[in-house]
Amino acid sequence: MGKFRNHKANELLGSPQEAMGFSKEYSSLLQNFIIKKYDFSDINQVEDIKKQLLGRKILLINAKEILENIEISELKRGIEDIKMFLRENGGSMGRLGDQYLILTPNNHIKIAN
């Protein structure tokens, strides 16, 4: 039995998620995602990025190296490919500063802009 209490019912709950008010359905969903830092250095990594997203990973992409070593038109094609993949799967993309992107794999986790 967990140590977290529901103050309304004064009963013990099984997990921190339940104590914070998440239903059991969403608790199991939240536990199945992994946040991963990903260094994007080559346009050929686009397919691996898609594979990572299908594996329920939230990616924090460091694009510093690829921004320095690739023509912008080629990078735009790769980013468009990733955006299309995200639209098809309900995922989202956000920018963090000048060199980082955050990608979510499906519609269960969204980025608010």
pLDDT mean over 78-96: 96
Contacts of 21 (CB under 8 A, 6+ apart): none
Q: For position 19, what pLDDT does the model report?
A: 61
Q: For position 88, what pLDDT does the model report?
A: 96
Helix axes 72-89, 46-54, angle to 10 degrees: 20
The mean pLDDT of the chain is 83
Please state, in angstroms and as integers, the Cα–Cα distance from residue 28 to each residue in 14, 32, 41, 99, 107, following that order.
12, 7, 34, 32, 16
Q: Domain boundaries in the chain?
A: 1-31, 33-113
pTM: 0.71
- CATH for the stretch 33-113: 3.30.110.150
Q: What is the pLDDT of residues 23-77, one digit of tens each?
A: 555 555 555 789 999 999 999 999 999 999 999 999 999 999 999 999 999 999 9
pLDDT bin (cut points 50, 70, 90) of residue 11 is low
